[in-house]
């Protein structure tokens, strides 16, 4: 079994390398895990010894098949627990991240299978992020950024690409939550801000906010 700490490094490498599994730099990992580069180097050696990553000195790392499988499984657990916290225990979507960060390290395949069934085998978490199945496969959906929509177009809010509490609380406040249908009324050239209709009301959001909302057309 891998330690709690090893799991967090694998998860960090997975998130930084993305689905394409591009090489990840030591410093990026250090930032994400709130450690120092020297500590990361130590851990990379250990993970390479366990064949969880491909590591060439000074050249960054990628996950091996085994490493990716491990990382994706942690992501699966994290997201399923988030669904549990929101759907069953009544937490808000901005409150669940830290608790899921702990729950994701509980080790029991049976537990996760049963939890998934109990939740109705959800395909996305409360932020719209996809939940991989037990084989590590993602259900692919084509989402575009709200900022990329044309004037007049409609779509459903289906995810966010920024998960900070502040951002999520702001979206909640202005009514831009998962599943809401919106229509773009206008897009200002000069600052990228967007006017849109949601809940039969017109609101305007900044370019930065629009970039972090994901839409299913």
Partner DNA sequence: CTTAATTTTTAGGCCAATCTAAATTTTTAG
Partner DNA sequence: CTAAAAATTTAGATTGGCCTAAAAATTAAG
Contacts with DNA, residue ranges (CB under 7 A): 3-6, 25-28, 33-46, 55, 57-60
- 118 is a site residue for its own copies (CB under 8 A): yes
Nearer to DNA, 41 or 161 (CB): 41
- Minimum distance, C-beta of residue 48 to DNA, in the bound complex (Å): 10
Query: How many residues sit in the footprint of its own copies (CB under 8 A)?
Result: 17
Nearer to its own copies by Cβ, of 110 and 142: the residue is 110
Rounded to 10 deg, the angle between the 4-17 and 26-33 helix axes is: 120
Give the torsion through C-alpha atoms of 2, 12, 70, 47, to 10 deg.
-50
Residue 27 or 206: the one with the smaller Cβ distance to DNA is: 27
* 13 neighbors 6 (Cβ within 8 angstroms): no
> In the bound complex, what is the minimum distance in angstroms from residue 93's beta carbon to its own copies?
15
Q: Which is nearer to its own copies, 80 or 196 (CB)?
A: 80
Contact flags string 94-113 toward its own copies, x per CB under 8 A: ----xx--xx--xxx-xx--
Residue pair 15/32 in contact by the 8 Å Cβ criterion: yes
Interface with its own copies, residue 85, by CB under 8 A: yes
Find the shortest distance in angstroms from Cβ 126 to its own copies: 15
Decide: is 74 part of the binding site for its own copies (CB under 8 A).
no
Q: Is the torsion defined by CA of 104, 110, 111, 117 positive or negative?
A: positive
Nearest 10 degrees: Cα torsion 6, 10, 11, 17: 160
Q: How far is the CB of 102 from DNA (least distance, A)?
A: 15
User: What is the rounded CA–CA span in Å between residue 47 and residue 193?
Assistant: 44
Closest approach of DNA to the CB of residue 18, in Å:
17
User: Which residues 6+ apart lie within 8 Å of 7 measured at CB?
Assistant: 70, 74, 104, 105
Q: Considering the complex, what minimum distance in angstroms separates the CB of residue 110 from its own copies?
A: 8
Distance CA 3, CA 9 (A): 10
138 binds its own copies (CB under 8 A): no
**E strand or H helix at 49, and its extent?**
helix 37-49
DSSP state for residue 50 in the 8-state scheme: T
The answer to whether 114 contacts its own copies (rule: CB under 8 A) is yes
169 is a contact residue toward its own copies (CB under 8 A): no
Distance CA 152, CA 170 (A): 24
- Provide the binding-site residues for its own copies, judged by CB under 8 A: 85, 88-91, 98-99, 102-103, 106-108, 110-111, 114-115, 118
């Amino acid at each position: 079994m891998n330690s709690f700490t090893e799991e967090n490094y694998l998860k960090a490498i997975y998130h930084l390398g993305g689905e394409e599994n591009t090489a990840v730099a030591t410093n990026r990992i250090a930032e994400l895990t709130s450690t120092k580069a020297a500590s990361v180097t130590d851990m990379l050696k250990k993970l390479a010894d366990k064949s969880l990553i491909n590591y060439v000195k000074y050249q960054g790392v990628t996950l091996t098949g085994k490493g990716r499988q491990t990382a994706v499984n942690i992501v699966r657990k994290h997201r399923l627990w988030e669904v549990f916290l929101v759907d069953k225990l009544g937490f808000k979507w901005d409150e669940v991240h830290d608790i899921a960060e702990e729950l994701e390290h509980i080790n029991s395949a049976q537990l996760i299978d049963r939890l998934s069934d109990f939740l109705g085998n959800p395909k996305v978490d409360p932020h719209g992020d996809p939940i991989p199945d037990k084989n590590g496969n993602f259900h692919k959906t084509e989402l575009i950024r709200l900022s990329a929509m044309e004037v007049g177009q409609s779509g459903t809010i289906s995810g966010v690409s920024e998960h900070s509490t502040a951002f999520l609380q702001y979206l909640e406040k202005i009514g831009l939550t998962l599943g809401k249908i919106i229509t773009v009324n206008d897009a200002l050239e000069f600052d990228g801000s967007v006017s849109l209709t949601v809940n039969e009301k017109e609101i305007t959001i900044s370019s930065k906010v629009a970039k972090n909302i994901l839409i299913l057309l």
